[in-house]
Structure 1
């Protein structure tokens, strides 16, 4: 069967009812395609974007649910760990000297140094350094002695009941002595910063 395209000549839009069958079919298919395309663009494409965003939200909510479920399932374990952390923190706070205990720390350092065989030439507090949650209390120390006495001194400082850290070591030979050295260093202790400070 051969298509007769001459049927598409001289068609009038005002008189669609009298068009031949083939132009009516083509027009119906064209209108159907236009309705489908416009319906998709107007109604479905917005819904597709909404669906994608809801699916992405579903994934994040599932992950949030999993993490909260994990916490809920292990709540007793987390509570026990929290108690242990609080106990550890309280013990660490006890290792920090309070403001009325800091002068005694100089006595402890002097005692540790002299029992180690060192001679103190300098032992001075430096200005406090305020940090976010603690206050740093530096002490400049200069001592004379032998290398082994220095090691014994550092070991005993580490054994003090209060937290003391040692920084900026500088060791020099003393001229005209039998192996004596000068050790300059900075010791730092820390104090918990109260809210009103």
Structure 2
């Protein structure tokens, strides 16, 4: 059996010896099959490199695009199904924002708000030793007006005054509170009261123009 196998290997090797490249038609069967297989492999490799590879990459991209488009479609479908709920939520947000906006006085109402703060202190029997409004600080759609104040009175009156300010229909915050005893047994309270007012359309437009001018100047 071993000798028979050796004879077959020798014959196969003999078939590949002394091949005439100019006349492959006379080659033995094994070399012709090997040559055809080599040519086929080379052709498949060239086809893959120059054609099939690009098609495969294009196919992968299209599959990814299909998945992305499907997700976008599902997202828009969910939005369409929940459109009424989104509208309801938007209406509720507008209502809440309007309610908050009403807590900010306009420019013409600011004077009345300052009077209300002053009356809240006087109504509790407090004495104002300092009442100094500082410059307004404009924000996106509102402005802050800080007021440095100093009042004197007893402990309960000061506490009631702070509570009355918190209950005002307009937003007022008391910051940087410092309370110190006085020689006469009363207390002195220093605070920074911050009130807020909304900007009218003209002020908002002016603020946008100023920001645009600053941005343009910064890019030069």
State the TM-score, normalized to the length of structure 2: 0.81
Per the alignment, do residues 66 and 141 of structure 1 end up closer, same or farther by CA in structure 2, a change over 3 Å counting?
Answer: farther
Question: Residue deviations 1:27-70, cap 9 Å, x none?
Answer: 11111112222222222222222222222222322222222222
Q: Does 1:184 align with 2:186?
A: no
Question: Residue deviations 1:122-147, cap 9 Å, x none?
Answer: 11211011222321111111111233
Compare the two structures and name the one with the higher helix fraction. 2
Distance 2:68 2:176 in 1: 50
State the TM-score, normalized to the length of structure 1: 0.90
Q: CA RMSD in A?
A: 1.7
Distance 2:158 2:43 in 1: 93
Per the alignment, do residues 49 and 82 of structure 1 end up closer, same or farther by CA in structure 2, a change over 3 Å counting?
Answer: same
Per the alignment, do residues 10 and 133 of structure 1 end up closer, same or farther by CA in structure 2, a change over 3 Å counting?
Answer: farther
- The answer to which structure, 1 or 2, has the higher relative contact order (CA under 8 A, 6+ apart) is 1
Q: Which residue of 1 aligns with 2:175?
A: 167
For 1:36-185, what aligned pairs fall within 5 Å after superposition?
36-174=44-182, 176-178=183-185, 180-185=186-191
Give the ranges of 4+ consecutive aligned residues of structure 1 lying more than 6 Å apart after TM superposition: none
Q: Which runs of 5+ in 1 are unaligned?
A: none
Question: Residue deviations 1:8-34, cap 9 Å, x none?
Answer: 223233222222211110011111112
Q: Which runs of 5+ in 2 are unaligned?
A: 207-220
Q: Which residue of 1 aligns with 2:209?
A: none
Distance 2:142 2:68 in 1: 39
